[in-house]
């Protein structure tokens, strides 16, 4: 099979981690008889440097011609990077938000799994991690605060900033349906997370999610307030199967969930629309503090590539092979610094990629 993949290496550790994911994809191609045809695309700071803007129309058009896009991460250190002297709509992050919107990638799936082998890297007590845990965070990705009206005005010498949070019932219904569909293939539990004790948008969210739940009698729905959810994630992460939530809450809770699995460097993600197309990227950022040192963990990106094979290409066997190879490398005790614990072997970004390739046979 010919896989037409757009590649956005991005900024910071982006090029380092994407290179490893491409290496793994090529190895899968070799073993299973597929060819990956890559189209390099510029986004974020790398695009600002060349085109003056974080995303061009041409890049969007090229991305649309691909079957899927693999991405590293974008952005830099706002304290030192010249990109942050530009107005907000021209900064790296604006490119990421625009591509999500233009490609209608409303469903962001972030699987947070505690690997048995990584218990030592998890900051929670052993009695909490016993038996491991496996949750899917379903984050709405094209609505809410990220895409509401935004302005800063000065009135009578007082600066006031506005960010509006809007959801309509259709936006809520489509992500809720996707969440319940995914729950049907898992442990059949959805925890819908909102702030319905305060926000109108959350009260509508809860009403629509409850309507959708009526079509899925086998799935248990629990509503949970976001502050409680943040606490429950560290108190008892095992209780979660699918966490269904809006854009901003999902951003924050997924970073928290990543840490209870050991590191943000382990958290893959898929951003999907109504078709087979998807954008696959690690959930973490460009990690400017460690960029260029060859020490970033490439596993989240490699697991994102595996999600790509599964969702966009229906190559389940190949995706399983990547996941098994990751498991094996962790079992053998190889670790990047972010998931390091006593008695394990510390290696760099490239070595982890190489070791995963060796285990795909
Ligand atoms: P970050 O996720 O980049 O880094 C937070 C911490 O996690 C840092 O200490 C970093 O070294 C560590 N870390 C992250 N990924 C790692 C990996 N793969 N291996 C080992 N350690 C890793 O978050 P930040 O510092 O708040 O943001 C930095 C930049 O990234 C900002 O410009 C932000 O806007 C951007 N960002 C981009 C994305 C994206 O492209 N999807 C996501 C999040 C943040
Ligand atoms: C993520 C990132 C982005 C977000 C930023 C870089 C705009 O944090 O993908 O989680 O907030 O969605
Ligand atoms: Mn984030």
Q: Are residues 317 and 279 in the same domain?
A: yes
Domain that holds residue 352: 1-107+262-361
Q: Are residues 235 and 297 in the same domain?
A: no
Our count of domains for the chain comes to 2
Question: What is the spatial distance between Cα 64 and Cα 148, in angstroms, rounded to a whole number?
Answer: 25
| Cβ atoms of residues 122 and 114 within 8 Å | yes
Q: Are residues 96 and 148 in the same domain?
A: no
Q: Which ligand is located closest to the Cα atom of residue 110?
A: 2
pLDDT at residue 1, as a whole number: 95
For range 278-288, the mean pLDDT: 98
Residues annotated in a binding site: 100, 110, 139, 227, 251, 255, 285-297
Q: Are residues 89 and 177 in the same domain?
A: no
For residue 272, tell me if it sits in a domain: yes
Out of 11, 67, 251, 338, the active site residue is 251
Question: What is the spatial distance between Cα 138 and Cα 109, in angstroms, rounded to a whole number?
Answer: 5
Residues annotated in a binding site for Mg(2+): 227, 251, 255
Contacts of 175 by beta carbon, 8 Å cutoff, 6+ apart: 106, 107, 138, 140, 244
> Among residues 225, 240, 260, which one ends one of the domains?
260
255 is catalytic: yes
> What CATH number is associated with residue 229?
3.40.718.10
pLDDT-based confidence at 19, cuts 50/70/90? very high
Q: What is the pTM of this model?
A: 0.97
Question: What is the spatial distance between Cα 253 and Cα 259, in angstroms, rounded to a whole number?
Answer: 10
Distances (CA, A) of 318 to 23, 29, 45, 352: 14, 9, 33, 18
Q: Are residues 15 and 94 in the same domain?
A: yes
Q: Are residues 243 and 132 in the same domain?
A: yes
Is this complex scored with an ipTM above 0.90? yes
> Among residues 213, 229, 260, which one ends one of the domains?
260
Q: Which ligand is located closest to the Cα atom of residue 74?
A: 1
| Cβ atoms of residues 45 and 81 within 8 Å | yes
For range 280-291, the mean pLDDT: 98
Express as a percent the part of the chain with pLDDT over 70. Answer: 100
> Among residues 206, 225, 260, which one ends one of the domains?
260
- Summarize pLDDT for 112-149 with one digit per residue, the tens: 999 888 988 999 999 999 989 999 999 999 999 999 99
Q: Are residues 269 and 331 in the same domain?
A: yes
Residue 338 beta carbon below 6 angstroms from any ligand 1 atom: yes
pLDDT at residue 220, as a whole number: 98
Q: Are residues 129 and 256 in the same domain?
A: yes
């Amino acid at each position: 099979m010919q896989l037409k993949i757009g590649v956005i290496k991005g900024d910071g550790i982006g090029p380092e981690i994407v290179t490893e994911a491409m290496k793994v994809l090529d190895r899968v191609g070799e073993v299973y008889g597929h060819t990956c045809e890559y189209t390099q695309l510029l986004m974020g700071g790398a695009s600002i440097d060349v085109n003056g803007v974080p995303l061009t129309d041409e890049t969007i058009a090229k991305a649309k011609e691909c079957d899927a896009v693999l991405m590293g991460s974008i952005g830099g250190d706002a304290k030192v990077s010249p990109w942050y002297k530009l107005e907000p709509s021209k900064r790296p992050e604006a490119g990421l938000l625009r591509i999500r919107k233009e490609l209608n990638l409303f469903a962001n799936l972030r699987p947070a799994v505690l690997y048995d082998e990584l218990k030592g890297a998890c900051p929670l007590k052993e009695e909490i991690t016993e038996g491991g845990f496996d949750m899917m965070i379903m984050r709405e990705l094209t609505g809410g605060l990220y895409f509401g009206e935004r302005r800063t005005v000065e009135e009578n010498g007082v600066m006031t900033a506005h960010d509006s949070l809007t959801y309509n019932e259709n936006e809520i219904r489509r992500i809720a349906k996707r969440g319940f569909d995914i729950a049907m293939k898992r442990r059949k539990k959805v925890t819908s997370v909102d702030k319905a004790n305060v926000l109108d948008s959350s009260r509508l969210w809860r009403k629509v999610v409850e309507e959708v739940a009526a079509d899925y009698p086998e799935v248990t729905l629990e509503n949970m307030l976001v502050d409680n959810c943040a606490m429950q994630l560290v108190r008892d992460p095992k209780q979660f199967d699918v966490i269904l939530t809006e854009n901003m809450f999902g951003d924050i809770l997924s970073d928290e969930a990543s840490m209870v699995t050991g590191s943000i460097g382990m958290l893959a993600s898929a951003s999907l629309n109504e078709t087979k197309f998807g954008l696959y990227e690690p959930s973490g950022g460009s990690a400017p503090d460690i960029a260029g040192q060859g020490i970033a963990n490439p596993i989240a990106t490699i697991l994102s590539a595996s999600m790509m094979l599964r969702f966009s290409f229906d190559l389940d066997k190949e995706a399983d092979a990547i996941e098994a190879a990751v498991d094996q490398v962790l079992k053998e005790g190889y670790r990047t610094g972010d998931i390091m614990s006593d008695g394990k072997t510390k290696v760099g970004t490239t070595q982890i990629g190489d070791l995963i390739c060796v285990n795909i046979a």
